[in-house]
Structure 1
């Protein structure tokens, strides 16, 4: 399972490089994490 997740991550990174998408700033990453956590909390979903 972890190997598959790693492959998906590497594939996504390659697609972003190919699309010339700039990397997220630390603030943007923190905002994304906060948004996902808030959505999970609102629906009662666990992180796993």
Structure 2
């Protein structure tokens, strides 16, 4: 579970970088609540990225 969390946090950062570079929204695949929470938490302090479920 810890490895999955690390993978999701890296995914969030990579997607955020892509969004900032392209200025286009990105949709991720459906996730369970635990995984969505990790993505939201990883990006909550990034003022240039908005997340929603």
TM range (shorter): 0.3 to 0.5
- Larger Rg belongs to: 1
State the TM-score, normalized to the length of structure 2.
0.39
Which structure exhibits the higher relative contact order, with contacts defined as CA atoms closer than 8 Å and separated by 6 or more residues?
Answer: 2
State the TM-score, normalized to the length of structure 1.
0.43
